Amino acid sequence: MKVYNPSRVRNVVLLGHSGSGKTTLAETMLFEAGAINRRGTVESKNTVSDYHDLEKEKEKSIYSSFMNLDWRGNKINLIDTPGTSDYIGEVVGPLRVADTALFVLNAEHGVEVATDSLWKFARRYNVPSMFVVNKLDNERSDFWKTVEQAKEHYGREVTVVQFPYSEGNDFHAIVDVLRMTMYEFPEGGGKPDKLPIPDSIKERADQLHQELVEVIAENDETLMDIYFEHGELDEEQMQKGLHLSLVNGQIHPVFCSCASRNMGTGRVMGFIGDVAPNPLEGNPPKKEDGSEFALDPDGKPVMFLFKTHSESHVGDLIYFKMYSGSVKSGMDLVNSTTSNSVRLGNLYLTEGHKRIEVDEIKTGDIGAVVKLKDGEINDTLSEKGMDIKLEGISYPSTTIRTAVKLKHEGDEDKLGSALHQIHREDPSIEVEHSQELKQIIIHAQGEEHLAVVEHGLRDRYKLDIEFYAPRIPYRETITKGVKTQYKHKKQSGGAGQYAEVHLLIEPYEEGMPDPADMKVRNSDVHELPWGGKLVFNNCIVGGVIDNRFMPAIYKGVMEKMENGPMSGCCARDIRVSVFDGSMHSVDSNEAAFKTAGRMAFRDGFLNANPQLLEPVYDVEVTVPADYMGDVMGDLGTRRGQIQGMDAEGSLQKIRAQVPLEELDQYSTRLKSMTQGSATYTREFSHYAAAPFDVQERVMKENEELEEA
């Protein structure tokens, strides 16, 4: 296998809404480049990239897939990614290592919701971006409307380089305003004829060419001087200017294609080879400390791990990008995360499921390694003594959750191992072993994402599991102060147990004065792991309770704080003052005072006007304007409080605050209401008082659970 120098490598990630044609575009590129002899189709389930059984079943991309091809001496690493927000975890990793983002827009639907979300991630990593308007043969295709929407969403940097001569069933030719040539394709697609631009559209082509020249010139002083002097730039000058503008994010070129009919892909690949940045020119990665890391082909090896995929009979296949030097199989490196020495196994390039073993991978290239005993996503491997750690991939917050349990006992360890491996391969999935809720909770990006997890647990790990509604992590507090007491007395032959505790429990507020009728001998402020505070005061006078029993009383109170009397969830923001009690010279011990403290706190808590607090989330819904009324109405039924609205082109953003209880099935409902055209994000905001009916229901459910 040929080894390419960094200047000849192009790392391109395909992005776009589901159904825009990314997989078909990748397949056609491979075919045009001679990497495959026959084009597959998504419908026939024989494409190079969508090779997993689940992808074939659903006829859509679920996992990122890596391919490579040679186009006129340049190696293009092509990464096909899913277009559904549920699988965003498979997109952000490839975006982190790509040097060019190729956004695929459906000419019928224009800019869709998922594209907006992906654009934000591309901007986060400053990846140079270009567009391909695809499916121009669709009878409802509208190229110019799509371009206008792209300009509205992504700015005036969106610049037409090509436009279709005609659209719909008659689509067969593309006008290139960079080369001022029309490409006319034969019926079956493939290599086009180069023709003069027809007089009927020459004026429009001249105008767009002039706009392109001006955009290029205004981003480069030298080219601006040439343009002012001659009133024009030649193709070589334009190509140079395009390259600099693309690298600096000052232009987002727009191309045309009909991937299913093999029209336009060759010119896109030619532009990638001639104009798109190589890894040395792209946006340099940052180190963990925020400083930039300069790629060095002649330096010591530095590689960044960004994807893990486990294959039967092979084990973990870990994808990486070389950021310095080169690596060979058998080389010893150090993992900067664990400080452990690791030996590289066999190195591969991949074309979908096909692995091609190679001897060496150089700076800027993307490869895969097997049998790496110590390596996880976001790890940096380098030569001993370098101590380099590159900035990791940031995954989006989850939007849906479910509890999982085995239908039959006995496979608990196997379930734990399976969930750990699933998280390793897709860190956008979070697995929570909640001691508070006594549940294993899976947090994911959407209903489809959870379905993939369930399929993996059943099919891959052969586990008989059940998904069910997760509990809500409520919090409990009180709204008035009360005095409470409890006497614990137990005699069962021999030494007995005796402890009497009197407590004042109050709602805690920052800066509140000491209890009016008590002298505080000692006060401890405890920041609680679940949020809020517990202030524990020792107000004992006269030695009625020995100081050595105070820690036991505190432990008893904390036991009930961790398992609140109302919901079984944690309590917070309470002040407890121990002000009286009694003990026995023989029968008093720590266990007795722990029990007395717990029971006194429980009884007092339930008499102090207890208040259930529910978690409230900040929600942002991105939705086409046509569905805005339905979405806002639905948020109202979920006790949502609208915080504001913003317009972004044809899309609307609704900001609201919604209780978590109302969000557990929201992802499913939102897709149903908007025919899959809306997305949403959520972030925890605060705890707020739950309505009375919710509090009563939760208390009843907790009582039934405790009885069971």
In a domain, 25, yes or no: yes
**Rounded CA separation 672/662 (Å):** 16
Report residue 552 CA to chain centroid gap: 44
- Give pLDDT, residue 451: 95
Residues 415 and 538 in one domain: no
Backbone dihedral region for residue 156 (phi beyond 0: left; psi -120 to 50: alpha; all else: beta): alpha
Residues 88 and 130 in one domain: yes
Residues 516 and 497 in one domain: yes
DSSP strand pairing (570-571 vs 574-582): unpaired
- Give pLDDT, residue 494: 66
Q: What is the CATH number of the domain that holds 16?
A: 3.40.50.300
Residues 663 and 601 in one domain: no
Report residue 248 CA to chain centroid gap: 26
**Rounded CA separation 123/132 (Å):** 18
DSSP strand pairing (380-382 vs 302-311): antiparallel
Both ends of the chain: CA-CA distance in Å? 65
pLDDT at 640 over 90: yes
Q: What is the CATH number of the domain that holds 454?
A: 3.30.70.870
pLDDT at 199 over 70: yes
pLDDT at 492 over 70: no
Residue 277 is classified by DSSP as P
Query: What confidence tier does 392 reach under pLDDT thresholds 50, 70, 90?
Result: very high
The share of the chain scoring above pLDDT 70, in percent, equals 99
Backbone dihedral region for residue 130 (phi beyond 0: left; psi -120 to 50: alpha; all else: beta): beta
Residues 62 and 34 in one domain: yes
Q: What is the CATH number of the domain that holds 330?
A: 2.40.30.10
pLDDT at 336 over 80: yes
Residues 463 and 505 in one domain: no
Q: Which own/partner contact pairs does 335-340 have at CB distance under 8 Å and 24+ positions apart?
A: 335/374, 335/375, 335/379, 335/380, 335/381, 336/379, 336/380, 336/381, 336/382, 336/387, 336/388, 336/389, 337/376, 337/378, 337/379, 337/380, 337/389, 338/374, 338/379, 340/374
Per the structure, the complete domain to which residue 447 belongs is given by: 400-471
In a domain, 389, yes or no: no
Q: What is the CATH number of the domain that holds 636?
A: 3.30.70.240
What is the DSSP secondary-structure string of 632-680? HHHHHHTT-EEEEEEEETTEEEEEEEEEGGGTTTHHHHHHHHHTT--EE
In a domain, 449, yes or no: yes
- Give pLDDT, residue 647: 86
Nearest to 383 by CA among 420, 341, 411: 341
CA distances (Å), origin 306, targets 121, 177, 367, 458: 15, 38, 11, 26
Nearest to 15 by CA among 25, 7, 2: 25
Name beta bridge partners: 561.
Answer: none
Nearest to 344 by CA among 375, 321, 315: 375
Backbone dihedral region for residue 279 (phi beyond 0: left; psi -120 to 50: alpha; all else: beta): alpha
CB atoms within 10 A of CB 3: 13
In a domain, 158, yes or no: yes
Looking up tokens 């232009």 gives 251
Q: Is residue 1 classed exposed, middle or buried when 0-12, 13-18 and 19+ CB atoms within 10 A define those classes?
A: exposed
Distant-in-sequence, close-in-space partners of 215: CB < 8 Å, separation ≥ 6: 157, 159, 245, 250, 251
Number of structural domains in the chain = 5
pLDDT at 292 over 80: yes
Which amino acid is located at 229 in the chain? E
Mean pLDDT of 343-366: 94
Residues 483 and 590 in one domain: yes
**Rounded CA separation 260/240 (Å):** 31
Query: What confidence tier does 1 reach under pLDDT thresholds 50, 70, 90?
Result: low
Last residue of a domain, one of 589, 608, 627: 608
pLDDT at 63 over 90: yes
In a domain, 371, yes or no: yes
**Residue 501 token pair:** 């505790």
Q: What is the CATH number of the domain that holds 516?
A: 3.30.230.10
686 close to 642: Cβ distance less than 8 angstroms: no
- Give pLDDT, residue 493: 63
Which amino acid is located at 572 in the chain? R
In a domain, 230, yes or no: no
Residues 492 and 543 in one domain: yes
pLDDT in tens, 138-190: 999 999 999 999 999 999 999 999 999 999 999 999 999 999 999 999 988 99
**Rounded CA separation 577/503 (Å):** 6
- Give pLDDT, residue 3: 83
431 close to 423: Cβ distance less than 8 angstroms: yes
Last residue of a domain, one of 471, 491, 513: 471
pLDDT in tens, 428-475: 999 999 999 999 999 999 999 999 999 999 999 999 999 999 999 999
- Give pLDDT, residue 666: 92
Query: pTM of the prediction?
Result: 0.90
In a domain, 237, yes or no: no
Residues 35 and 115 in one domain: yes
Residues 594 and 493 in one domain: yes
- Give pLDDT, residue 318: 96
Residues 437 and 538 in one domain: no
The share of the chain scoring above pLDDT 90, in percent, equals 84
Q: Is residue 573 classed exposed, middle or buried when 0-12, 13-18 and 19+ CB atoms within 10 A define those classes?
A: buried
In a domain, 232, yes or no: no
CA distances (Å), origin 466, targets 124, 201, 426, 455, 675: 38, 62, 21, 11, 28
- Give pLDDT, residue 423: 96
Last residue of a domain, one of 608, 637, 655: 608
Nearest to 99 by CA among 38, 233, 9: 9
Residues 87 and 27 in one domain: yes
